[in-house]
Amino acid sequence: MVFDYSLAALVALGLLEWRPITTAAPFDRYLELAVIDASGIHRLAFPCRRVLRGWIKASTNEPVNAHPTHWREWDAVRPSAAHSASD
């Protein structure tokens, strides 16, 4: 499947504030991750941190079992994505 990462597509999908995973995410900060797959755009419902070996859940230090495509700063005030299938 081919994904359209053009500016117009990102705006339409609500991903403008998201940064591509290919840009350097900061270490040791709470970040929100998004995964784009064949069924749509999915935000992880928990804050994550970037570490040398990849991504971990901020609260448990467990590895994240996902292949994120985008990231942004975690905002505790932003509505939760806990049960959201897409953003």
Number of structural domains found in the chain:
1
Q: How far apart are CA 61 and CA 15, in angstroms?
A: 26
- pLDDT tens digits for 41-70? 789 999 999 999 999 999 999 999 988 999
Indicate whether 87 belongs to any domain.
no
pLDDT of residue 51: 94
Q: Decide if 79 is inside a domain.
A: no
pLDDT at 48: 96
pLDDT band per the 50, 70, 90 thresholds, residue 77: low
Quick check: is 85 in a domain?
no
Q: What pTM was estimated for this model as a whole? A: 0.67
- Structure confidence at residue 86 (pLDDT): 42
The reply to whether 45 falls in a domain is yes
- Give me the domain span that covers residue 57: 7-73
Structure confidence by residue, pLDDT tens digits, 27-40? 989 999 998 777 87
